Amino acid sequence: MILMWIVSSIPGNNNPLPFPGFDKIVHIIEYSIFGLLFLRYLYPQFQKYAHNKVLILYFVFSFVWAASDELHQYFVPLRSMDVVDLFADMFGVVLALFVFKKICRKSL
């Protein structure tokens, strides 16, 4: 999360993207990695508590983190807050859940 914050603090530039939508792919990959790491952290909690409560925690915390990251970018020069980026972030979080479920079938 510290690395995500540092990268989102770097002022933007006006260089063109390699192709349209490239930044959304980066958001999906970034938040998929974040989601997998966060789920790995939460994994022991799936044994102790109701799975639904842990998944709600996962989604709420991930959304709050992604939204705060987008808000943070509003204040960084040449960066902007974008709701489509937030959707890409949450898509990455959901993708991570599906991958994690495939890896850990017995507990989820």
Give every CB contact of residue 19 below 8 A, 6+ residues apart in sequence.
Answer: none
**Per-residue pLDDT, 106:** 61
Which tokens hold the place of 77? Answer: 């020069």
Cα separation of 72 and 39, whole Å? 24
Cα-based distances in Å from 35 to 38, 53, 79: 5, 16, 24
- Residue 94 sits at φ, ψ, to 5 deg, of -65, -40
**Per-residue pLDDT, 77:** 93
Which tokens hold the place of 93? Answer: 């979080």
**Per-residue pLDDT, 17:** 82
Q: What is the pLDDT of residues 13-72, one digit of tens each?
A: 877 788 889 999 999 999 999 999 999 999 888 878 888 888 999 999 999 999 999 999
Cα separation of 69 and 61, whole Å? 12
Residue 9, pLDDT > 90, answer yes
